[in-house]
Structure 1
Amino acid sequence: MKSWSMVLGGVALAGASWSAQAAEIELEGNRLLVSGMLDGSAVQRFVEQLGSGRVRTVVFEDSLGGTAEAAGEYARAIRASGVNTEMKGQCHAACAYAFLAGKEHRFGRGFQVNGLLIPVAARPRPEELASRWRGEEAQKTLAEFTAAPAEPETAGAPRERWQPGHGVLFTSTPTLFGRVYNSFYCDGTQGHDTSRCELLSDADPYKLGVLTP
């Protein structure tokens, strides 16, 4: 796999030290801040806040994952309320799908490196990249991770297919000349050294619908 920069690797290593704490929710004006794992523990409060009509933007900050079931619940609440989403720092797996449910979804400004890791079962083909995370297609992709397995002993239970470090990673890095955007495929074997991920060509997050203008 192609390496690109020690910056991304350093960010990943820093992320490895974050604690896997449950989601924390805080309302600041018309912005609802969400951090931590989307494990379902704060879903009810999240839905209630969105139902109040006061929230205009949901901001995910340093959320390194969660369960597929919780991802679906957060995404449905966001979609139903029609709010925008924003992410700052790292937003992986469950967080990524909730983020994509926003009417408009953007990376936050500031000096932090932003990294959105969208889990995939296999490396997307070039033709898939153009539409995979737009609207209904994003929901279909999420359904792949929440579908019940075929085995009788586990039928009806959510199938967790989030694989740590496996997916398409979209990054935004601040520089003196503005932000630089890159896209990578990480197969999971790189561990926390995401500088080993494969750089994807022609995968601008704005063109792919992962970010909105």
Structure 2
Amino acid sequence: MKFPKKLALAFAFSITGTVPLAAEIELEGSRLIVSGMLDGAALPEFVMHVNNSRVRTVMFDNSTGGSAEVAEAYAQVIRSKGLSTEARGQCQAACAYAFLAGKEHRFGRGGQVNALLIPLPRRPTPAELATGGWRSDEARHAVAPAPMPATAAETVNVAAAAPASASTGAPTPASDAGPAPAPAKEAWLPGKGMLFTSTPTFFGRVYNTYYCDGNQGADLSRCERVSDADPYKLGVLTQ
């Protein structure tokens, strides 16, 4: 699958850190534009504008990450005020979570390529796509990935398989081992999840959906195309 060059470049910048590190807020009439990472630095200003002006729409402009807690804070304000949201350019992870909180949510107009990345641990099944179960709270906890190193994951798995006695180092019987350690969670990788794209053409915009496993780097051609995943049918876009 051949990806638009502009989208590939923007995605490459987002995973290598060549993006604004802190959010910036700009008010344009009834539209409040949020760009950069949702790290909490601009949250007070965001709340001030929403409370003191006639903001109707929040536009996320090339926002490529942030923390789960800050994303939820933005989402709560958007929901409580009944605001609509737009995504222009890149909107990934924390941005995607806040974007979906809008009363109506759509891609921005114009000639740019738009891309929305919703973090997910694996590719959804057709049944999950049909029922909406793929957009669970699990995605929220993945908006600020903290990958577990392979060595750490292996250590947890080994300890779970054979807990040792403190005195001899021998495996301890299951009855004496106490509660079993929790299984290691799959590492979250930057750029991992469902990717919805909107590309302008002479005949109107073309929408595509992919699942990226996080190992593709800047090579989006390695992301897997997801058929029958129209963003409007899935409720990712509403207008």
TM range (shorter): 0.7 to 0.9
What aligned pairs does 1:25-44 form with structure 2 within 5 A after superposition?
Answer: 25-44=25-44
Amino acid at match of 2:216: Q
- In structure 1, the partner of 2:213 is 187
Contact 2:49–2:55 (CA<8 Å) still a contact in 1?
yes
The size of the alignment, in residue pairs, is 196
Greater Cα radius of gyration, structure 1 or 2? 2
Range with bigger deviation, 180-189 or 4-13: 4-13
Q: TM-score normalised to the size of structure 1?
A: 0.83
Larger relative contact order, structure 1 or 2 (CA cutoff 8 Å, min sep 6): 1
Cα deviations by residue, 1:44-69 (Å, 9 ceiling, x for unpaired): 22122222251000000000111111
Q: Following TM superposition, by how much is the alpha carbon of 1:163 offset from its aligned partner in structure 2, in angstroms?
A: 2.9
1:49-60 equivalences under 5 Å are 49-60=49-60
1:4 and 2:28 matched: no
Is residue 140 of structure 1 aligned with residue 166 of structure 2? no
Mapping for residues 1-213 of structure 1, pairs under 5 Å: 3-7=1-5, 8-13=7-12, 15=14, 16=16, 18-132=18-132, 138=135, 140-145=137-142, 163-213=189-239
Q: 1:162 to 1:75 in 2, by over 3 A?
A: farther
Superposed CA deviations along residues 17-54 of structure 1, whole A, max 9, x for unmatched, are: 73242000011111000000001111122122222251
Deviation at 1:162, TM superposition (A): 5.6
RMSD: 2.4
Q: Deviations over 1:162-206 (max 9, x none)?
A: 631101000000001100000000000001111210000000000
Alpha-carbon distance in structure 1 between the residues aligned to 2:141 and 2:116: 19
Using the size of structure 2 for normalisation, the TM-score is: 0.75
Counterpart Cα distance in 1 of 2:102 and 2:220: 27
Offset of residue 129 of structure 1: 1.8
Following the alignment from structure 2 to structure 1, what is the Cα–Cα distance between the partners of residues 54 and 70? 22
145 and 190 in structure 1: CA distance in 2 versus 1, 3 angstrom threshold: closer
